[in-house]
Amino acid sequence: MFIGHFAPALAARAITSEAPKLGTLFIAAQLVDWAFFILFLGGVEQMRLVPGITAMNPFDFYHYPITHSLVGTLVFAAVFGLLVAMRMRNSIAATWAAIVVASHWMLDWISHRPDLTLAGGEETFGLGLWNHPLAAIGAELAIVGLAFWAYMARTKGPIVPPIVLLGTMLVFQAINWFGPEPTDLGAPFILLALFAFAVLTAIAFWVGSTRWHRNELGLGVASPPI
């Protein structure tokens, strides 16, 4: 998944005003992919192009035990939750941040072919939704649509910023689905992926600065910067 990973971020902020701001939750949603791409550039974790390995993309993630094992993802979740707790002094916010980080492994388990591990061992897991394009596209759009609807229903503020966010997400996702397959996994490709994450996260911070939860009093209510 790509934008599907942001659905838990939108949902968390919709559920409670004590969740971190939307931009922080967007970082949480793709934290392990940020780490994977950086580690890949450093030669620590590995992927390669294998055309046809799944129906939707040619990526063979054959070695990423630090970021995409279940244990590794949970460690990232715990550390990020701790940072949020230290920043916000709110255990509920920290818990939601950690849940959003941890959701990444579960969504990858649904979409990936069996290439995920529990702790970096030989046994691999993945339901392979990427081998069923119509189902994969429908599922990703459905969870993002539902989460976005919940976020809009549970928050107040101008409509333009979230519409810009949703539109940008859909444009990036369309490029991911229907654009030409990559032919090289060099630094330009990785930096382009990180750029897409950064753009969406920056817009999410903007959206979060313009909307507030319906349980809050209004724009004047004091809130932590995170």
Whether residue 186 is contained in a domain is answered as: yes
Whether residue 222 is contained in a domain is answered as: no
How many domains, in total, are found in the chain? 1
- Per-residue pLDDT 10s for the chain (226 aa) are 899 999 999 999 999 999 999 999 999 999 999 999 999 999 999 999 999 999 999 999 999 999 999 999 999 999 999 999 999 999 999 999 999 999 999 999 999 999 999 999 899 999 999 999 999 999 999 999 999 999 999 999 999 999 999 999 999 999 999 999 999 999 999 999 999 999 999 999 999 999 998 877 654 444 444 6
DSSP 8-state code for residue 180: P
Whole-model pTM: value is 0.93
Whether residue 201 is contained in a domain is answered as: yes
Tokens of 153: 């229903």
DSSP 3-59: GGGGHHHHHHHHH-TTSPPHHHHHHHHTHHHHHHHHHHHTTSSEEEE-TTSSSS--E
Whether residue 225 is contained in a domain is answered as: no
Q: CB-hemisphere CA count at 13 Å for 13? A: 30
Identify the domain containing residue 32 by its residue range: 3-213
Whether residue 226 is contained in a domain is answered as: no
